[in-house]
Amino acid sequence: MNPGITTSSWGLGSSTGPLADQFDLALVDLDGVARRGDQPIPYATENLNQAQADGLHLVFVTNNAALTPEQVAAQLNKIGIKASAVNIMTAAMACAALLGTRLSPGDKVLVVGGDGMREAIVESGFSVIPSDTPNAADLDPKAVAMGYAPTVCWSDLAEAAYAVERGAWFVASNLDLSLPTPRGFAPGNGALVGAVQAATGVVPTSEGKPSPAMYELVVRRTGAQRPLVIGDRLNTDLGGARAAGFPGLLITTGVSTGRDAVLAKPTYRPDFIGADLRALFETHLAPEEGPDNWWVSGGRAARVEGNQLELDSRGPVGVDILRAACAAVWSAVDAGVEVASSSIPEFQL
């Protein structure tokens, strides 16, 4: 129980002080929250380091399975974010834990991906068959484990497909279709997995976000009592938070925009919204309903009239008007109103 936080099943929550003071663990997404490619997100480095200095335990939870925890930590250190291997939870680690629910030590696993996938699966006691091994599928793997790596090519996918066709258990580190890079969005592991799925007709099992598995593994490992999920993707980071029952903070520096938040399904809705990681040091107050169906946040207001979202005309578009818009639209949708998506603008935060 967290006495400093009020959340609801449908809408935005409140805090009695800065979020960094209200939680004992932050489960922080990497790409789009802490960094973009090899560059830090604006305001990420200083605010994450300050939160740690103030006593908030950080674990970076990523659907990227290409790198080992040590490699991820080294990348974060390079951009000034303090981290070590114990501060990292990758989808490869969750994938290895999943394999352990059905396979026995020593069983062979055909691995598509980078060092992170191979190391995690070896450390869990399985025998790795790299996908670039000649005729890898002919070596009778019990499972195929797929994770993103920039070196994955057609022949890797072909060996995975051959093994899956022959009955190997198909497991994916995550199903993210895209991966944010400094140049834009590139195909993610979900796109690679989709090729094997299209070829075989077999749907993979995945413990990557939005599965709550990684969050729950970290909470058990750390013994945290008041975890907060921080992410930029509604359908993975925040969906996983809802699935785990943990409060979630959406940061709009990555994939999901403010408009996406207003349109979010109930199972993807964040408890808190911030323009960037300065939101960790803000007190968040839930919007309040006023006269004539206006929802008010920080002096800005929004309502749904008929099936149209209306915004007040005062001041710049920003996080307060976004919070008010979320409250107005979510309450209307939950009451059965089909709000016209054309009435919802982009929000400049």
Question: pLDDT per residue over 260-301, tens digit each?
Answer: 999 999 999 999 999 999 999 999 999 999 999 999 999 899
Q: 126 near 103, Cβ under 8 Å?
A: yes
Q: Respond yes or no: is residue 54 known to be catalytic.
A: no
What is the chain's mean pLDDT, rounded? 95
Query: Between vectors from CA 178 to CA 172 and to CA 179, what angle results, nearest 5°?
Result: 95
User: Of 21, 24, 31, 292, which one is the catalytic site residue?
Assistant: 31
Which three-class secondary structure state does DSSP give residue 348? coil
3-state helix, strand, coil split of the chain in percent (to 5) is 35, 20, 40
Long-range contacts formed by 153-159: CB under 8 A, 24+ apart: 155/131, 156/112, 156/131, 156/132, 157/112, 157/192, 157/195, 157/196, 157/199, 159/110, 159/112, 159/131, 159/133, 159/135
Question: pLDDT per residue over 34-69, tens digit each?
Answer: 998 889 999 999 999 999 999 999 999 998 888 999
* Residue 236: both structure tokens together: 């993975």
Q: What CATH code is assigned to 92-206? A: 3.40.50.1000
Where do the structural domains in the chain lie, given as residue ranges?
5-63+210-281, 92-206, 288-343
Q: Respond yes or no: is residue 312 known to be catalytic.
A: no
Of the chain, the percentage scoring pLDDT greater than 70 comes to 99
User: Of 21, 29, 260, 312, which one is the catalytic site residue?
Assistant: 29
Judge if pTM exceeds 0.75. yes
Q: Which CATH superfamily is domain 5-63+210-281 in?
A: HAD superfamily/HAD-like (3.40.50.1000)
Question: pLDDT per residue over 81-137, tens digit each?
Answer: 999 999 999 999 999 999 999 999 999 999 999 999 999 999 999 999 999 999 999
The per-residue pLDDT for 144 is 98
